[in-house]
Structure 1
Amino acid sequence: MIITDTHTHLYSEDFDTDRDEMIKRALDANIERFFIPAIDSTYTESMLNLEQSFPENIFLMMGLHPTHVKENYLSELMHVEQMLAKRKFYAVGEIGIDLYWDTSTLDIQIKAFKHQIKLAKQYKLPIVIHCREAFDEIFEVLEQEKSDDFYGIFHCFTGTKEQAERAISFNMKLGIGGVVTFKNGKIDQFINEIGLEHIVLETDSPYLAPKPYRGKRNESMYILKVLEKLSHLYDRSTNEIAEITTRNSKEVFGV
């Protein structure tokens, strides 16, 4: 059984004291594939160092996170362009719109999102979407940009069943993480009505730890709790769900 964590910030400062041990804990638990989303240029060096330390297991994305779309966003997008031109990445992400922290930057968030979608199409890469309190705005952009070569993952999906189906209609898999274990997470009420072929597993570590670790630092090994919850909801073995979701991740990332 190979388990894939499709979204984990292993370069985060939260892991500075025990990063290697934390990754080895995950590897010992058959979590062998880690897809690493970008935030902004200040993290690029840490991401490259991480890949150097675990070259068989780490797969990097490149992008500008919507909460980091600020006054300097054009120079940050230039950095994304330069990195994509320089070497191999497995997705453009995480990109999207976040209206939880700041609604005043909506216009430039949309511009940055659209620009990076165009880069993904140029390099024939999937996108990994961050959406927080912005489903309508995200769907409006996806409607404008949709095409046959447009696909990816709706990371940390927290929407309704209707929103899940709409996301899937844009060739998106749903990234399911710790929220599925929360009492008030709501996606556990319908997720088993969504075909497993549309699901990938993620932690978003160090954020959004699943029960019983909620409120603590998340780590990739805790994806086992997500796997157990989905096994219960779908009435399928953890082995089956691990196999299907890893296969789905290969379909998206091409590796």
Structure 2
Amino acid sequence: MVKKVIRCIIIDDEPLSVKLLESYTDSCSDTLLLQKFTNPVEALHFLENNIPDLILLDVQMPELNGIQFIKILQKKCLIVLITAYPQYAVNAFDLDVVDYLLKPIVYERFLQAISKVKDQLASQKHIVEPKDTLDYFFVKSEYKMQKVYFKDVVYLEGLRDYVALHTKQFKLLTLQSMKSFEQNLPSNFVRVHKSYIVNTDDITSFNSNTIVLGKIVIPIGSVYAQNVKGKFKQL
């Protein structure tokens, strides 16, 4: 059975707190840190094109506090709130966060929170990935709905307002966003660049900068490098 690595980001305006949490995620074999932010607004920009499994989120921040952040966040990812103020606990659990860590955070307590995250992710997977999941999907292209099998898609390419699906048999264009594909494709697909999502089953080789799919060479974007690393760690 493939071990699930929890892809996470840290949002905390205190650099020392970020450094401590980073050391904890590095020490824990269950977590992979994608990015760290001291500015929650920058984190929101990152989350427009990236969906981590977990956000380690500070409550008290000057520009946008953690409670406000959760209320405007539209992503389906788990939250562990972090703060030095226990009075926020009631609001935190009203927002359905996984756990609530009080500063100063000890490593053992951090691991307890990660264990809760693992349990929730396992529960979600059980719910959204039943055994009879369809192995195909339909996309609108040239005024008709085209049936496409997931296994036949080699990679997707973002082209301004369109997305090009490159399959083993044909190429088609559809007026659909890369973001929507990224959120709904099976787990063997990974976004490696602003303009590319690849089927990991078709990868023949890769290095830190590129992925090779047969005769096709796809660049790895710097923003997606950590996420790609985490994906290959799971394979």
* Normalised TM-score (structure 1): 0.29
Greater fraction of residues in strand:
2
- The answer to which structure, 1 or 2, has the higher relative contact order (CA under 8 A, 6+ apart) is 1
* Normalised TM-score (structure 2): 0.31
Greater fraction of residues in helix:
1
